[in-house]
């Protein structure tokens, strides 16, 4: 008698909601290889059909297509303007906000926090996780500025107060490009001040991929990664096979079967309430293209771990059920970086900077950056 098929659940990165796709599959599920061959054939035939079909016989006339695109654009603009107004009203204490034009001419909402007094020793640029926004890191920014570090944060496209449909990421490569452009802007405005990149969860994957480009790596003293999304697996192998086709045909579609309660990302109940009651945090089901992009960047980083040369600190909770702490250990052991460190927190969950021990974790990050500045300063003086 065949053993029942074990179906893993696909998480939506830092959002921590579970996407139980193909939940109804049972013991009668065909073999993965046969399904994969069938789906590849269907996908290839579909794309071939679209390419060869004469334009005047396409199911949707140009006028209908244009009207649909215009409607999407109007809806996205209204959604982003509503969120930008909320982002501007968010109480930031001593911080300020501004809009940065990204690599694809999108308006990206950004925040900055600078030390009240004293010389700025360095700058940390925060790339938040999936479905959240930079304003959530105001408490960490206060800790950093008290140690004379400046802080900048950028909301991804489709997140926080930035342009785009909420929760929709057409390409994480666009986020990577925006990260590089934002870093370049901050460096040009603060000449001579060392910069670090920080990324959480899917933001950690973005930062790591950005740092794989020599021009970006040369602009930073190092990168800090918390709970990076390095080994994200689909709910079932079939999902991985159909994801490219579905992300092309229905990219904005939400998986309605998502478990909205999800799994805990912090052991602090107040932090959970704050996150999921925040109107700038996307709490809907993950969108098809967004999910596919997470799988794609995760696969890229797993294939290229040995090519990582940027100095880095990776931190992960051993009880994290959203991203894989073992993948962070693989990164530490396989990366070619000469300056690298790892810190595992026993029993901690996914959102490390929102755990009860957030001050201790923030201190670990600051101490690493100070150590890195000492090493970098000595090498420059030498």
For the chain, give the number of residues.
382
Question: Is pLDDT of 364 > 60?
Answer: yes
What pLDDT was estimated at residue 2?
A: 44
Answer whether residue 245 is part of any domain: yes
Give percent of the chain with pLDDT exceeding 70. 75
Answer whether residue 189 is part of any domain: yes
* Predicted confidence (pLDDT) per residue in 182-209, tens digit: 999 999 999 999 999 999 999 999 999 9
pTM score, whole prediction = 0.82
What pLDDT was estimated at residue 331?
A: 98
Please answer whether residues 124 and 196 qualify as being in contact, where contact means their C-beta atoms are separated by less than 8 angstroms. Answer: yes
Number of domains in the chain: 1
Question: Is pLDDT of 123 > 60?
Answer: yes
Per-residue b/e over 227-247, b at no fewer than 16 CB within 10 Å? bbbbbbbbbbbbbbbbbbbbb
At 289, which CATH number? 3.40.50.1820
Strand, coil or helix: 254: strand
**Which of the listed ranges 28-37, 53-62, 365-374 does the model predict with the highest average pLDDT?**
365-374
Mean pLDDT of 302-321: 97
* Domain interval for residue 146: 98-377
Query: What CA–CA distance (Å, rounded) separates 126 from 202?
Result: 12
What pLDDT was estimated at residue 243?
A: 76
* Predicted confidence (pLDDT) per residue in 278-291, tens digit: 999 999 999 999 99
* Predicted confidence (pLDDT) per residue in 220-237, tens digit: 999 999 999 999 987 666
pLDDT band for position 23 (50/70/90)? very low
Instruction: Provide long-range contacts, Cβ within 8 A and 24+ apart, for 85-90.
Output: 86/161, 86/279, 86/280, 87/133, 87/135, 87/155, 87/160, 87/161, 87/280, 88/161, 90/135, 90/280
Answer whether residue 164 is part of any domain: yes
Answer whether residue 142 is part of any domain: yes
What pLDDT was estimated at residue 381?
A: 46
Answer whether residue 339 is part of any domain: yes
Mean pLDDT of 233-258: 74
What pLDDT was estimated at residue 32?
A: 53
Considering only residues 22 and 200, tell me which one the structure prediction assigns the higher pLDDT: 200
What pLDDT was estimated at residue 42?
A: 60
What pLDDT was estimated at residue 319?
A: 98
Lowest mean pLDDT across 116-125, 132-141, 255-264, 332-341: 255-264
Answer whether residue 72 is part of any domain: no
Beta strands 222-226 and 149-154 are unpaired
What pLDDT was estimated at residue 27?
A: 44
Answer whether residue 92 is part of any domain: no
Answer whether residue 51 is part of any domain: no
User: Under 8 Å CB-to-CB from 333, ≥6 apart: which residues?
Assistant: none
């Amino acid at each position: 008698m065949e053993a029942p098929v074990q179906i893993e659940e696909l998480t939506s990165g830092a959002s921590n909601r579970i996407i139980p796709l193909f939940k109804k599959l049972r013991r009668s599920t065909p073999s993965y290889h046969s399904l994969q061959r069938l789906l590849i054939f269907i996908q290839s035939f579909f794309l071939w059909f679209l390419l060869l079909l004469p334009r005047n016989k396409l199911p949707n006339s140009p006028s209908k297509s244009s009207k649909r695109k215009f409607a999407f654009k109007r809806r996205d603009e209204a959604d982003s303007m509503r969120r930008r107004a909320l982002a501007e009203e968010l109480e930031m204490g001593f911080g300020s906000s501004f809009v940065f034009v990204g690599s694809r001419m999108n308006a990206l909402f950004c925040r900055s926090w600078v030390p009240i007094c004293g010389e700025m020793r360095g700058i940390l640029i925060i790339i938040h996780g999936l479905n959240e926004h930079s304003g959530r890191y105001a408490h960490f920014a206060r800790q950093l500025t008290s140690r004379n570090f400046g802080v900048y944060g950028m909301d991804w496209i489709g997140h926080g107060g930035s342009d785009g449909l909420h929760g929709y990421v057409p390409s994480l490569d666009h986020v990577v490009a925006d990260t590089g452009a934002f870093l370049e802007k901050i460096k040009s405005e603060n000449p001579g001040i060392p910069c670090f990149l920080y990324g959480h969860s899917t933001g950690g994957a973005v930062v790591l991929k950005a740092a794989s480009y020599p021009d970006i790596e040369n602009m930073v003293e190092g990168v800090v990664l918390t709970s990076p999304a390095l080994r994200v697996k689909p709910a079932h192998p079939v999902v991985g096979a159909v994801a490219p086709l579905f992300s092309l045909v229905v990219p904005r579609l939400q998986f309605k079967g998502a478990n909205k309660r999800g799994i805990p990302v912090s052991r602090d109940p107040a932090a959970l309430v704050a996150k999921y009651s925040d109107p700038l945090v996307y709490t809907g089901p993950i969108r098809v293209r967004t999910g596919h992009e997470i799988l794609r960047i995760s696969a890229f980083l797993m294939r290229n771990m040995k090519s990582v040369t940027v100095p880095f600190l990776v931190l992960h909770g051993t009880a994290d059920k959203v991203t894989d702490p073992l993948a962070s250990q693989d990164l530490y052991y396989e990366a070619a970086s000469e300056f690298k460190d790892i810190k595992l927190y026993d029993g901690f969950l996914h959102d490390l900077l929102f755990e009860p021990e957030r001050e201790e974790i923030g201190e670990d990050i600051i101490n690493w950056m100070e150590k890195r500045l000492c090493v970098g300063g000595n090498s420059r003086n030498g």
